[in-house]
């Protein structure tokens, strides 16, 4: 990126109400068959236009073609039975009825490559594509086959790598792996989480990112956050290992969270997508609030490696609020960009 402080979002954005129920996770589609195929493309076009108009520099598909950031990828795999469901605790936090791994997992065909190709045709801007991370995928399933989180994650990592290589080939600039589970299972991150992430990015020439957050602004997450105390030091457990990995970019939660900003120092040298937008509130940040968060982050991230972003996806918010937040992000980044440029000149 040649732009200083290039802005982006973590990934998901609200869908139009004609395609899925707004402000809802796992919202079922309102269209069917060819209408749904066409509708997803139209939703993607709108989402892209909203990002561009809001001044976002690195754009994405707003995850308009998927129902959920983990489940949709898994739905396209063989070896997972969505009819056989078990209730498990996701991220040690909330019960969910999940599909079952019944045999060896494989990816019979690409999942998002056609969507990414379509997005690439619509814009000359840099594009980022999000995929679920191996550990987060494992944590969203019941495994009756491998009976080992590590083995299953390794198999997923290989499938994700195949998908990522195809995304790169159609012109995706940054491939991001969403690993909110990294903030919960610290020992597993060290034992096999990072190794699986490295397997997922193996051989990629495009930039790679990992997104580690405290989740969407849904009740199970906000309740959990209340139990974490006044300082959230989860990143401290995992950042040294991430720093030593080959991942280029780390996307993390900052604004309004209780993460001590100095923890970012632990990944000095990496590019950092700093969450300067709180996705757990409908209140739209002012550009000055965004700028204040970015200025703080600049103490721990070199200016050429700071990428202003959102704390997490914005799919549970209204479109109006999400638009306002993206505009605030751009405006806040502009303020700090001007300050940095003035310093350079002066």
Shortest CB 220 distance to Zn ion, Å? 14
Two tokens at 93? 């936090």
**Distance separating the N- and C-terminal Cα atoms of the chain:** 24
- The Cα–Cα gap between 56 and 9 comes to 8
C-beta separation of 82 from 67 below 8 A = no
Shortest CB 342 distance to Zn ion, Å? 33
Interface of this chain with Zn ion, residues 7 to 46, rule: CB under 5 A: none
Q: Is the dihedral of CA 310, 316, 317, 322 positive or negative?
A: positive
Q: Going residue by residue from 160 to 199, which x/- string records binding to Zn ion, judged by CB under 5 A?
A: ----------------------------------------
291 or 312: whose CB is closer to Zn ion? Answer: 312
Q: Pairing relation of β-strands 58-59 and 126-132?
A: parallel
64 or 311: whose CB is closer to Zn ion? Answer: 311
Shortest CB 98 distance to Zn ion, Å? 19
- Mark the segment that binds Zn ion (CB under 5 A) among 42-50, 75-83, 191-199, 206-214: 206-214
264 or 340: whose CB is closer to Zn ion? Answer: 264
101 or 326: whose CB is closer to Zn ion? Answer: 326
- Mark the segment that binds Zn ion (CB under 5 A) among 34-42, 72-80, 200-208, 211-219: 211-219
Lookup result for tokens 């399933």: 141
CA angle 245-250-251, nearest 5°? 155
Two tokens at 131? 């995929």
- Mark the segment that binds Zn ion (CB under 5 A) among 95-103, 131-139, 202-210, 310-318: 310-318
Across-strand partners of 243? none
How many chain residues touch Zn ion (CB under 5 A)? 2
Shortest CB 312 distance to Zn ion, Å? 3
Interface with Zn ion includes 213 (CB under 5 A)?
Answer: yes
Shortest CB 70 distance to Zn ion, Å? 11
Shortest CB 10 distance to Zn ion, Å? 5
DSSP 3-state of 270: strand
- Mark the segment that binds Zn ion (CB under 5 A) among 93-101, 160-168, 186-194, 304-312: 304-312
Shortest CB 228 distance to Zn ion, Å? 16
Shortest CB 315 distance to Zn ion, Å? 10
C-beta separation of 310 from 287 below 8 A = no
Shortest CB 251 distance to Zn ion, Å? 8
Residue 98 main-chain phi, psi, to 5 deg: -125, 160
100 or 309: whose CB is closer to Zn ion? Answer: 309
- Mark the segment that binds Zn ion (CB under 5 A) among 207-215, 219-227, 240-248, 302-310: 207-215
Q: Going residue by residue from 47 to 66, which x/- string records binding to Zn ion, judged by CB under 5 A?
A: --------------------
**What number of CA atoms fall less than 13 Å from residue 155's CA on the CB side?**
20
- The Cα–Cα gap between 273 and 189 comes to 20
- The Cα–Cα gap between 71 and 69 comes to 6
- Mark the segment that binds Zn ion (CB under 5 A) among 67-75, 181-189, 208-216, 234-242: 208-216
- The Cα–Cα gap between 133 and 18 comes to 30
**259 Cβ contact list (under 8 Å, min separation 6):** 232, 233, 234, 235, 252, 253
Two tokens at 239? 């950042």
Chain contacts with Zn ion (rule: CB under 5 A): 213, 312
């Amino acid at each position: 990126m040649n732009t200083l402080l290039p802005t982006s979002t973590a990934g998901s954005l609200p869908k139009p109400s004609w395609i899925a129920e707004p402000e809802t996770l796992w919202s079922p589609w309102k269209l069917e068959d060819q209408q749904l195929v066409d509708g997803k493309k139209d939703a993607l076009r709108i989402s892209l236009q909203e990002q561009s108009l809001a001044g976002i520099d690195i754009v994405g598909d707003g995850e308009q073609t998927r129902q959920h950031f983990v489940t949709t990828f898994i739905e396209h795999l063989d070896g997972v039975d969505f009819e056989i469901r078990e209730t498990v605790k996701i991220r040690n936090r909330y019960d969910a009825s999940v599909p079952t791994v019944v045999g060896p997992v494989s990816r019979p065909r690409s999942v998002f490559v056609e969507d990414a190709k379509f997005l690439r045709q619509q814009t000359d801007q840099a594009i980022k594509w999000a995929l679920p991370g191996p550990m987060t995928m494992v944590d969203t399933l019941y495994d009756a086959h491998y009976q080992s989180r590590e083995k299953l994650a390794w198999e997923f990592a290989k499938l994700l790598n195949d998908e990522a290589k195809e995304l790169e080939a159609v012109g995706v600039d940054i491939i991001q792996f969403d690993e909110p589970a990294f903030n919960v299972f610290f020992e597993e991150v060290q034992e096999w989480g990072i190794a699986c992430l490295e397997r997922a990015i193996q051989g990629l020439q495009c930039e790679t990112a990992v997104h580690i957050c405290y989740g969407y602004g849904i009740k199970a997450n906000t309740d959990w956050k209340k139990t974490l105390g006044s300082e959230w030091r989860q990143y401290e457990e995992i950042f040294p290992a991430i720093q030593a990995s080959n991942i280029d970019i780390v996307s993390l939660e900052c604004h309004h969270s209780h993460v001590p900003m100095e923890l970012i120092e632990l990944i000095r040298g990496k590019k950092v997508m700093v969450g300067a937008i709180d996705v757990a509130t409908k209140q739209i940040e002012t550009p000055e609030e965004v700028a204040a968060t970015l200025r703080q982050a600049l103490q721990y991230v070199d200016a050429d490696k700071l990428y202003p972003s959102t704390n997490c996806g914005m799919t549970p918010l209204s479109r109006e609020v999400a638009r306002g937040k993206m505009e605030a992000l751009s405006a806040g980044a502009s303020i700090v960009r001007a300050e940095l440029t003035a310093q350079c000149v002066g």
